[in-house]
């Protein structure tokens, strides 16, 4: 069984607009991770520590979105906007795509990706579909539905 970990953290900061006030923002050092567990015993097979947020502001490495597994690969989205593929045998990251950017939609509208939370990716017909943009709990809002294929079409 593959399980993503949220453990999202917040920190209190002085509000730059009004130093007398305090505001909460996401803690870039807390949360996240992916685990493989043996169902019959509950033992941990492997764990993958999340990459940190780097220079991205108001970011969290929490992985609170549902995961999706196909033979050899586990997909997991993160509140930092990254959509990653992990080797199911080892937990090594084999592919990483930063969804937090602007896109040209097929309908001619501008879309923006952001935090990934809630439902996991769907796999159908050789494609993987995932949404990007979730503004709850301080995450980066957005409105993108992304489609990926092995051959890049």
- Domains in the chain, start-ordered, CATH in brackets? 2-149 (2.40.128.630)
pLDDT in tens, 32-84: 889 999 999 999 999 998 887 777 777 888 888 899 999 999 999 998 889 99
Q: How many C-beta atoms surround the C-beta of residue 32 within 10 A?
A: 27
Contact 98, 107 (CB under 8 A): no
pLDDT band at 153 (very low <50, low <70, confident <90, very high): low
Which residue carries 């045998």 as its tokens? 89
Contact 65, 78 (CB under 8 A): yes
């Amino acid at each position: 069984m593959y399980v993503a970990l949220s453990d999202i953290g917040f920190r209190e900061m002085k509000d730059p607009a009004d130093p007398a006030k305090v505001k909460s923002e996401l803690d870039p050092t807390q949360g996240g991770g992916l685990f493989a567990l043996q169902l019959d015993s509950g033992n941990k097979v492997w764990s993958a520590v999340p990459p940190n947020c780097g220079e991205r502001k108001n970011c969290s490495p929490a992985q609170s979105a549902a995961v999706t597994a196909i033979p050899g690969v586990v997909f997991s989205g993160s509140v930092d906007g990254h959509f990653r593929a992990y080797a199911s045998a080892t937990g090594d990251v084999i592919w990483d795509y930063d969804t937090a950017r602007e896109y040209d939609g097929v309908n001619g509208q501008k879309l923006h990706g952001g935090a990934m939370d809630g439902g996991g990716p769907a796999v159908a017909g050789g494609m993987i579909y995932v949404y990007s943009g979730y503004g709850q709990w301080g995450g980066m809002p957005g409105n993108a539905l992304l489609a990926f294929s092995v051959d890049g079409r």
